[in-house]
């Protein structure tokens, strides 16, 4: 078995793992990234596409934001729709900040290109990763790659391998606590080869269920429909999807443009948090530690903010032996995680129709939407959470 050594072993080459690896490399800290999937698979995964103000700025500052700056769509607000009427929440006026619409797949491609340019180690199709000796000063990662067995000795391990990865399950059951909320609906999402019908995102509350108009580029639209979490996508031919989108997103004086649907799929919705996010020499980040419903556009942003905190902590520890930030990692991240969980839950419950809901639930939703239309304070709270709160 071939054995190598590095300072930080990173499991997972999604946005969290790749961003952490880049930040550490720029700071002169050796790290190795292990990814179970192929490069083609990782670069093709369609995920989030909304970057908070400070997350977009981080990519710029880290030197991986040039394509995002050229191709990303800067948005200064979003629109909320109910009863066929729309109201705009102006982020720039309320907070002085904006968001950037730039697909997660593109971020991952940019980070992989940057990684390969540096020559730092990134191993795709690293199979059977096992974590050992996490409660010692010399944790180890065992895995298979290119038909051979390998062992990677580290000073620390970052688990960035998602909800179904191996990292979180390596923490003893008596140490970790898990908090879960399952939602009685999912999102039927499509990618369509048609220019977006709105310059900004539209969140629509409708009697038939929630709908969202988003985009990936000036030529590609991303749209969602509330559906059952176990919905059979085969029951949704293109004609039915467009008919439902027309109904739920319809507004006076506005037209939803239709085009070829190139991808469709159903995503169940849940909230999940694992505490603590660290044990021994293992530190969890991103979906390995928490999941949010996509309504608040927080999943990718939380992952990047986790590893930004972790990178700063590791730079201090490797630089001068100061463990203050490292020891506080879980507590620091969880403050933001629970704020994002609440915001995502609030947006979700305000905009989606529960299958077991009644008129009381509906009146509460309409009241909240009306409050957002009439109160600058309420609108500012939504805007502040959406663009990203600097300190929590």
Which of the residues 53, 290, 298, 352 is marked catalytic?
Answer: 298
Which of the residues 294, 308, 329, 352 is marked catalytic?
Answer: 294
Strand partners, 73: 101
Which of the residues 143, 203, 224, 329 is marked catalytic?
Answer: 203
Angle, alpha carbons 327-331-336 (nearest 5°): 135
Q: Phi/psi of residue 137, each to 5°?
A: -85, 0
Which of the residues 25, 53, 75, 290 is marked catalytic?
Answer: 75
Find all residues with CB under 8 Å of 102, minimum gap 6, and list them: 49, 51, 56, 68, 71, 72, 73
Is the peptide bond preceding residue 276 cis, with omega within 30 degrees of 0?
yes
Q: Which of 327, 7, 285 is nearest to 138 (CA)?
A: 7
Q: Is 264 among the catalytic positions? A: no
For 145, the 3-state DSSP assignment is: strand
Q: Is 75 among the catalytic positions? A: yes
Q: CB–CB of 198/344 below 8 Å?
A: no
Strand partners, 131: 141
List Cα–Cα distances, 17 to 33, 49, 300, 303, in angstroms. 7, 18, 12, 9
Q: CB–CB of 191/320 below 8 Å?
A: no
Residue with the two structure tokens 């080869």: 193
Q: CB–CB of 205/369 below 8 Å?
A: yes
**247-267 in b/e burial notation, b at 16+ Cβ within 10 A?**
bbbebeeeebebeebeebebb
Count CA atoms closer than 13 A to 285's CA, side-chain side.
30
Q: Is 143 among the catalytic positions? A: no
Q: Is 41 among the catalytic positions? A: no
Which of the residues 183, 283, 329, 386 is marked catalytic?
Answer: 386
Q: Is 109 among the catalytic positions? A: no
The residues annotated as belonging to the active site are: 75, 203, 294, 298, 386
């Amino acid at each position: 078995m071939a054995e190598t050594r590095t300072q930080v072993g990173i499991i997972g080459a999604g946005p969290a793992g790749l961003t952490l690896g880049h930040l550490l490399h720029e700071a002169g800290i050796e790290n190795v990234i292990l990814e179970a999937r192929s490069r083609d698979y990782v670069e093709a995964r369609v995920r989030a596409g909304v970057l908070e103000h400070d997350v977009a700025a981080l990519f710029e500052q880290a030197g991986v934001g040039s394509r995002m700056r050229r191709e990303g769509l800067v948005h200064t607000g979003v629109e909320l729709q109910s009863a066929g009427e729309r109201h705009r929440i102006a982020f720039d006026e309320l907070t002085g900040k904006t968001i950037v619409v730039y697909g997660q797949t593109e971020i991952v491609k940019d980070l992989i290109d940057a990684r390969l340019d540096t020559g730092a180690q990134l191993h795709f199709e690293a199979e059977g990763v096992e974590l050992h000796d996490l409660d010692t000063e010399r944790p180890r990662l065992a895995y298979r790659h290119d038909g051979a067995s390998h062992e990677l000795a580290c000073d620390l391990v970052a688990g960035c391998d998602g909800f179904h990865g191996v990292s979180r399950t390596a923490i003893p059951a008596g140490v970790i606590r898990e908090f879960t909320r399952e939602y009685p609906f999912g999102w039927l999402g499509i990618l369509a080869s048609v220019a977006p019908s709105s310059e900004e995102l539209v969140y629509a509350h409708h009697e038939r269920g929630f709908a969202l108009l988003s985009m990936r580029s000036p030529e590609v639209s991303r749209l969602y429909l509330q559906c059952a979490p176990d919905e059979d996508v085969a029951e949704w031919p293109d004609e039915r999807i467009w008919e439902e989108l027309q109904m739920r997103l319809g507004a006076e004086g506005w037209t939803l443009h239709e085009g070829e649907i190139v991808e469709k799929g159903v995503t169940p919705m849940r909230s999940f948090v694992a505490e603590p996010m660290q044990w021994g020499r293992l530190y969890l980040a991103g979906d390995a530690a928490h999941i949010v419903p996509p309504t608040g556009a927080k999943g990718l942003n939380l992952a990047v903010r986790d590893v930004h905190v972790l990178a700063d902590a590791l730079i201090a520890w490797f630089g001068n032996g100061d463990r203050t930030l490292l020891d506080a990692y879980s507590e620091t991240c969880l403050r933001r995680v629970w704020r994002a969980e609440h915001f995502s839950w609030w947006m979700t419950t305000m905009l989606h129709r529960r299958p077991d809901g009644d008129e009381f639930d509906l009146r509460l939703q309409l009241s909240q939407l009306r409050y957002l239309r009439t109160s600058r304070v309420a609108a500012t709270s939504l805007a502040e959470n959406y663009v990203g709160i600097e300190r929590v």
